Amino acid sequence: MTPLGERIRELRRERGVSQKDMAASIGVSAAYLSALEHGHRGVPTWAMIQKIIGYFNVIWDDAEELQKLAEGSHPRVVVDTAGLSAAATELANLMAEAIDELNDAELSALNAQVREAIARKKRR
């Protein structure tokens, strides 16, 4: 499941909406919406994100959150480490090989560490 798919599912459940009903309202098949929620589809287009935002009638921060979640919801990521350090290549390979062995708490901790490192780099 992708972060966007998880959030769409939460919003649907909060509002008591079925996949079938939502799919019909935004002009896609229930199968597409299911695949999007489960991470079997790539990042939706900007237009599709706008339809989802409109469907849930979210504004400002919530709309921005959905857009950011979409940007970070590539279900199949390719990491090109050509030209990077050996440590970068090792990290990419470790993640590729073992990500399915990590639990949500471990993944959240790693995400936080990477986000902190990126933020520190941007502040410099």
Q: Which distant-in-sequence residues (6+ apart) come within 8 Å of 26 by Cβ?
A: 33, 48, 51, 52, 55
Q: State the residue range of the domain holding 110.
A: 86-123
Residues 63 and 20 in one domain: yes
Domains identified in the chain, total number: 2
Residue 65: CA count within 13 A, CB half-sphere: 12
CB 23 within 8 A of CB 30: yes
Residues 57 and 29 in one domain: yes
- Domain check: are 56 and 93 in the same one? no
Same domain, 53 and 101: no
CA torsion sign for 104, 106, 119, 95 is negative
Q: What is the pLDDT of residues 31-79, one digit of tens each?
A: 999 999 998 988 899 999 999 999 999 989 999 999 999 988 887 888 9
In a domain, 47, yes or no: yes
Q: What's the chain's length in residues?
A: 124
Query: Which residue among 71, 96, 113 closes a domain?
Result: 71
What is the reported pTM? 0.70
